[in-house]
Amino acid sequence: MNDNATRAGAGRSVGLVPFLFGVTGEQELPGAVLTGLLADLGLSRTAARALIARMRVNGQLASTRRGREVDYRLAGNFARGFERIKSGSARAVTPWEGRFHALLYQVPEGQRAFRDLLRRHALFTGFGIMQPGVLIALTDLSPRLADVLAEKPDGASVRIGTIALSDADAAAVAYEAWDLAAVGANYRAHIASLRTAMQSTAELPAAAETLRAFAELTMPPMVDTLRDPGLPPELRPPDWPWAELTGLLEQVNARYWRPAIAYVRSRVTG
């Protein structure tokens, strides 16, 4: 088990926010609307406001004041992660060229805050952990970390390079670096839940409970897709369940989208 696994539980409430941007189709949402929709999804208004404030401090949300109202939008690597989620089954697979792009870092223990910041942003961007101090990706993702790397303190070093491996070795490294055992297990659990949900044919009302059910069904698997680097066939585990999961998500979207968006639009425009 590596640090990738620690992200699965921590981002559930945070994941509600991009879910709402996706459902509304809006680039910006007024704070009052965002708070109200988060309340519809089960958060108290106090918890919703605290979540929005925390995400703003963490650079996950940006804000624009318009008179007495504040509008929010997704920002930085968080916004890029949302775009990766939205791509779904259409996500492009990066061809394997016989090497990983690598980010090698050494950070003194006294500067662990920077180390943790770098690793957190790198994992969210799509890097995997090959070993302590070595992050790998299928393409050069270092430009997406420019803001973090600009904060590199004296005494810390960060170098960009490549690591060439045979297909077999690269597949073994990728399996551990992105914790694909856990990702695959999560995918299969989501598949079982989605199959069960799709057995019902009852008409869904344009109501908060439909929005909540839609979020509960789709948000956890969509967040987990951020842990999947989109490996090429040469590096992918056998029977990788990505295609089955995304196919089921498309079916759930087709069933829940219309009533959920009708309810959300009534909240946004009302």
In sign, the C-alpha dihedral spanning 19, 25, 28, 31 is negative
Q: Which helix (H) or strand (E) holds 208?
A: helix 208-224
For Cα atoms 187, 174, 163, give the angle at the middle one, nearest 5 degrees: 155
**Residue 137, Cβ density class (10 Å: 0-12 exposed, 13-18 middle, ≥19 buried):** buried
Check: CB of residue 108 under 8 Å from CB of residue 44. Answer: no
Q: Looking at the domain that runs over 3-78, which CATH code has it been given?
A: 1.10.10.10
Beta strands at 61-66 and 69-74: parallel, antiparallel or unpaired: antiparallel
Concatenated DSSP letters for 124-170? HHT-EEEETTEEEESS--GGGGHHHHTTPPTT-EEEEEEEE--HHHH
Residues 265 and 25: their CA atoms lie apart, in Å, by 10
For residue 17 the two structure tokens come to: 């926010």
Q: Decide if pLDDT at 152 tops 90.
A: yes
Coil, helix or strand at residue 71:
strand
- Give residue 124's pLDDT: 84
Q: What is the number of residues in the chain?
A: 270
- pTM of this structure: 0.81
Compute the distance between CA of residue 261 and CA of residue 243 in angstroms, rounded to an integer: 25
pLDDT digits (tens, 9 = 90+) for 100-140: 999 999 999 999 999 999 998 899 889 999 999 999 999 99
Q: Which residue has the higher pLDDT, 50 or 15?
A: 50
Mean pLDDT of the chain: 90
CATH number for the segment(s) 99-164 = 3.30.70.240
Return d(Cα 30, Cα 269) in angstroms, integer.
11
Residue with tokens 């979020």: 215
- Whether the per-residue pLDDT at 10 is higher than 50: the answer is no
Of the candidate ranges 3-12, 15-24, 60-69, 145-154, the one whose mean pLDDT is the lowest: 3-12
Q: Domain segments of the chain: what residues?
A: 3-78, 99-164, 179-269
| pLDDT tens digits for range 207-245 | 999 999 999 999 999 888 888 998 999 999 999 999 999
